[in-house]
Amino acid sequence: MNKKFLLNRFGRTLLTLVGVSIIAFMILHLAPGDPARIMLGQFATEENIEIFREQHHLNEPLPVQYGAWITGVMQGNFGYSIRYNRPVHELIWTRMWPTLTLTVSALVLAVILGFTLGILAAIKRNSWLDYITTIQAMFWISIPAFWLGILFLYFFGLRLRWFPIGGMAGLASLVLPVFALGLREEAWFARPMRSEMLEVLNQAYIRSARARGIKERVIITKHALRNALIPLVTMIALRLPWIIGGSVVIEVVFAWGGMGSLLVNSVLARDFPVVQAILLLISFAVVMANLFADLLYSVIDPRIRLED
């Protein structure tokens, strides 16, 4: 890795960000018909629609509209929510923390559980633990997040009454959503971790370390794990959009007041300034996570590290 590579990588990131913002902006113009009418609904008066058009520069050509919108965004001004009649950034600010709490907790749960199971399955290959890991992972990835949420809500909330069935009342109310989200994601880490670990354990350098009489424990925890973890870093970044996507549904099921439920409500209410803002923020986070993963990768893998 060298300076040229870094510049190239940053250039790509910037390009992606521009593209992402264009898509977020264009969402509204995707539909046939008048965006103003789409947003205000079919019962709005001509007069109101005209005022709305003026307010949102909807009479200008598209590039000008985009320019106005993106300049606003860069100053932290995402426009006004039609439904709540409040600045979008205020709305999002209050909703962001619950979502972050949920997704980060679920991610941590998924990574810890997934990595552990994957490593153990690889070491004890073809044992009952290996089979169980594989089968349970298969089941988790075959279950839709919203249904898992409903099942949890029914059994642990309604039937057993161990946890609250919704809302954001303290730590207890976090348990069900985090598990509903995290357990499914665990499967996406356990399987790659297992196969990565198996592949590394098959490498010549592991065999040659064994031939030198190095303890099996050291071979696994030092020689193998260090190599197997490198590609898994990228895996975390790759799964990020899916975790965020899953959180939207989980938030709806558990009435969790985060960005996800705000997004669903805004889409249903055709409150597009909010939708655009959330799309933009989430994709921004994903792009940055990918960039970070790439850079981290080059730090932990000496093969692509900056030469001195």
Partner 1 sequence: MNSTEVILQADKIQKIFPSKEGDVRAVDGVNLDLISGEVFGLVGESGCGKSTLSRLLLRLLDSSGGSIKFKGEDITGFDKKQLKMLRRQMSLVFQDPHTSLNPRMTIYDNLARPFKVHNLAEGREEITVEIVRLLKSMGLQAEHMIRYPHELSGGQKQRVVVARALAVDPEVVFLDEPTSALDVSVQAKILKLLAKIKDEKDLTYFFISHDINLIRVISDRIGVMYLGRMVEQGEVAGMFKEPMHPYTRGLFSSVPEPTPARKLDSVLMGEVPSPVNPPSGCHFHPRCPEKMAICEQESPVFNYRQGRKVACHLYNLD
Partner 2 sequence: MEDTLTYEEIKKDIDNLKQEKTSQLALVWSRFKRNKLALIGGIIVLIMVLIAIFAPVLAPHDPYRTAPLRRLEAPSFEHPLGTDAMGRDMLSRLIYGARVELSIGILIILFEGTIGITLGLLAGYFGGWVDSVIMRLVDILRSFPVIILAMAIAGVLGQGVYNVVIALGIVGWTTFARMVRSKILSIKESDYVEAARSIGESTPSIIIRYILPNAVSTAIIMVCIMMPTALIASATLSFLGLGVQPPIASWGSIISAGRDYLLQAPWISTTAGLFIMFTVLGFNFIGDGLRDAFDPTADRS
Partner 3 sequence: MMSPILDINDLYLSFSTEEGELEAINGLNLEVEQGKIHGLIGETGCGKSVTGRTVLGLFDSNTMIKGGEILYNGDDLLSKTQHELQRDYRGNEIAMIFQDPGSSLNPVFKIEDQLDEVLRIYQPGKKAERRKKMIAALNAVKLPDPERLLKKYPHQLSGGMKQRVMIALNLACQPSLLIADEPTTALDVSIQAQFINVLKELQKEIDITILYITHDMAVVSEICDQVSVMYAGRIVEDVSMEDLFNKPVHPYSKLLVSSVLGPETNIDNLVEISGSVPRLINPPPGCRFHPRCEHMKPECKEEPPVLKEVAPGHQVACFKEDLS
Where along the sequence are the contacts to partner 1 (CB under 8 A)?
Answer: 2, 4-5
5 contact, one of partner 3, partner 1, partner 2, none, CB 5-8 Å limit per kind: partner 1
Minimum distance of partner 2 from residue 308's CB (angstroms): 31
Is residue 245 at the binding interface for partner 2, with CB under 8 A as the rule? yes
Among 264, 293, 296, 304, binds partner 2 (CB under 8 A): 264
Residue 11: partners with Cβ closer than 8 Å, 6 or more residues away: none
Nearest distance from C-beta of residue 297 to partner 1, angstroms: 16
Nearest distance in Å: CB 3, partner 1: 11
Residue 274 CB coordination number (10 Å): 28
Residues 166-225 touching partner 2, rule: CB under 8 A, are: 195, 198, 202
- Return d(Cα 48, Cα 37) in angstroms, integer: 10
Is position 283 an interface residue for partner 2 (rule: CB under 8 A)?
yes
Taking the C-alpha atoms of 57, 60, 65 and 71 in order, what is their torsion angle to the nearest 10 degrees?
A: -70
- HEC profile for the chain? CCHHHHHHHHHHHHHHHHHHHHHHHHHHHHCCCCHHHHHHCCCCCHHHHHHHHHHCCCCCCHHHHHHHHHHHHHCCCCCECCCCCCEHHHHHHHHHHHHHHHHHHHHHHHHHHHHHHHHHHHHCCCCHHHHHHHHHHHHHHCCCHHHHHHHHHHHHHHHCCCCCCCCCCCCHHHHHHHHHHHHHHHHHHHHHHHHHHHHHHCCHHHHHHHHCCCCHHHHHHHHHHHHHHHHHHHHHHHHHHHHHHHHHHHHHHCCCCCHHHHHHHHHHCCCHHHHHHHHHHHHHHHHHHHHHHHHHHHHHCHHHCCCC
Compose the 197-236 pattern: x for residues touching partner 3 by CB under 8 A, - for all others: ------xxx-xxxxxxxxxx------x--xx--x------
Which one among 14, 62, 112, 151 touches partner 2, defined by CB under 8 A?
151
Nearer to partner 2, 154 or 306 (CB): 154
Nearer to partner 1, 6 or 233 (CB): 6
Instruction: Report the partner that residue 15 touches, choosing among partner 2, partner 3, partner 1, none (CB closer than 5 to 8 A by kind).
Output: partner 2
C-beta of 36 vs 308, nearer to partner 2: 36
Note whether 138 binds partner 2 by CB under 8 A: yes
* Least Cβ distance, residue 2 to partner 1 (angstroms): 7
Among 65-73, 92-100, 204-212, 245-253, the segment contacting partner 2 (CB under 8 A): 245-253
Angle at 114 between CA 109 and CA 118, to 5 degrees: 160
Considering the complex, state which of residue 174 and residue 237 has its C-beta at the smaller distance from partner 2.
237
> Contact residues for partner 2 (CB under 8 A)?
12, 15-16, 19-20, 23, 27-28, 30-31, 38, 138-139, 141-147, 150-151, 153-154, 158, 195, 198, 202, 241-242, 244-246, 248-249, 252-253, 263-264, 267-268, 270, 272, 275, 278-279, 282-283, 286-287, 290
